[in-house]
Amino acid sequence: MTIILLVFAAFFILPIIWLLLAPTKTNTQLLLDGPFSFGSFDQLVANWNELFAFGSGVFSTWIGNSALYSFAALAITLVVSIPAGYALALIEFKGRRLLLVTTLIVMLIPNTALVLPIFLELSAARLIGNPLAVILPFSFFPFGVYLTYIYFSTAVSRDLLNAARIDGAGELRVFAQVAMPLATPVIALVGFFSFVANWNNYFLPFLVVGGDKIPVQVGLANLLSNVPAFNPTTASSIVIQLPTLALATLLSVAPILLIFLFAQRFLVEGMTAGGTKE
């Protein structure tokens, strides 16, 4: 049993450790030294400078685009999902069940399944190339509505809301002053999952934006064409060395990796939310 555990722990963690060490080496060191050796901080700085000098700093632009898309979509997602999940859980209205079941079905299909249809639609709407073509589809996050729905239907009682109503509070005040202060955990949870999903999304932005509008996930794949080790015939005169590509890979996931490290407990709670709350 211990052996199974160790083998799989190594399988899951060694690639990450390798990725943390590779940017500290020169190309030669990467090829010749042991895979888990440390190069030097000077070399890390040199690789860093090479990466950010590439294409007059296009890497920073990509990171900036990723941040813009992810945060803008996150904001819209929260603004529309929290009230929607609240209403689905605690307000009775016609069509509530239809909306709930639709949300479940759409939530369970892989998000890539709608990417080409969305591309075709945006293309007909002449929105291709516009940042909105990424932000708006990213904002549609049924899983967030579902999480909010589960949260409000288990953590907030109708009696509490009714008490506020009897005291004369209108629906907006009930939502803003009774429900919202209780909603902090679910807001954080929805925000987390939305941000991670959007930051890591490759397929949709790959199709709907180009040029200097691409996020880092798409940019990373573009970098690949400038790596002579993988593309010996590369036409570009400016080349990217392998350690620099490794650094780019690491930086492209750094925000998510940091969130994972610091929000560990929280994350596990979120993933098992449905299982433990009844």
Partner 1 sequence: MTVTAPPAPVDAVPTGRRRPGRRRASRVNAGQSRYGYIFVSGYTLLLLAFGLLPTLYAIYLAFTRNGAFVGVDNFVRVFNDYRFLPAVAHVALYIVYWLVSLIVLVVILAIVVHAIRVRWLGNTARFLFYIPGAIAGASSVLLWLFVLDPTVSPVSALLKGMGYESLVNVVAVDNLPVVFTVIAFWAGAGGWIVIMYGALNNISADIMEAARIDGANAIQTAWHIQLPMLTKWISYMGIMSLAAGTQLFVEPKILAQATKNVVPEDYSLNQLAYLYAFRQGDFSGSAAISLILLVVALGLSAVFIFRGKLFERD
Instruction: Enumerate residues 155-184 that contact partner 1 by CB under 8 A.
Output: 158, 171-172, 175
Q: What CA–CA distance (Å, rounded) separates 69 from 195?
A: 9
Q: Residue 15, interface with partner 1 (CB under 8 A)?
A: yes
The count of chain residues that interact with partner 1, using the rule CB under 8 A, is: 115
CB of 68 to partner 1, least distance (A): 17
Query: Considering the rule CB under 8 A, would residue 225 count as an interface residue with partner 1?
Result: yes
* Contact range with partner 1 by CB under 8 A, out of 31-39, 40-48, 51-59, 180-188: 31-39
Burial string for 61-90 (b: 16+ CB within 10 Å, else e) reads bbbebbeebbbbbbebbbeebbbbbbbbbb
Min. distance of Cβ 82 from partner 1 in angstroms? Answer: 9
CB-side neighbour CA atoms (13 Å) of 210? 3
Nearer CB in complex with partner 1: 74/88: 88
Backbone angles phi, psi at 36, to 5 degrees: -110, 30
Is there binding between residue 123 and partner 1 (CB under 8 A)?
A: yes
Q: Minimum distance between the CB of residue 260 and partner 1, rounded to whole angstroms?
A: 4
The answer to the question of residue 126 lying near partner 1 (CB under 8 A) is no
Residue nearer to partner 1 on the CB measure, 237 or 276: 276
Options 107, 132, 180, 187; binder of partner 1; rule CB under 8 A: 107
CA distance 234 to 88: 54
31 binds partner 1 (CB under 8 A): yes
Which of these segments, 42-50, 53-61, 101-109, 180-188, binds partner 1 (CB under 8 A)?
A: 101-109
**Interface with partner 1 in residues 233-262 (CB under 8 A):** 233, 242, 245-246, 249, 252-253, 256-257, 259-261
The sign one gets for the Cα dihedral 164, 166, 170, 172 is: positive
Among candidates 172, 166, 147, 167, which has minimal Cα distance to 91?
Answer: 172
CA 198/CA 75 separation, integer angstroms: 12
Report the residue from 24, 61, 111, 244 that binds partner 1 according to the rule CB under 8 A: 111
188 binding partner 1? (CB under 8 A)? no
Single residue of 45, 176, 182, 268 touching partner 1 by CB under 8 A? 268
CA 153/CA 144 separation, integer angstroms: 14
Angle at 237 between CA 44 and CA 208, to 5 degrees: 85
Q: Both tokens of residue 62?
A: 């990509």
Q: How far is the CB of 194 from partner 1 (least distance, A)?
A: 10
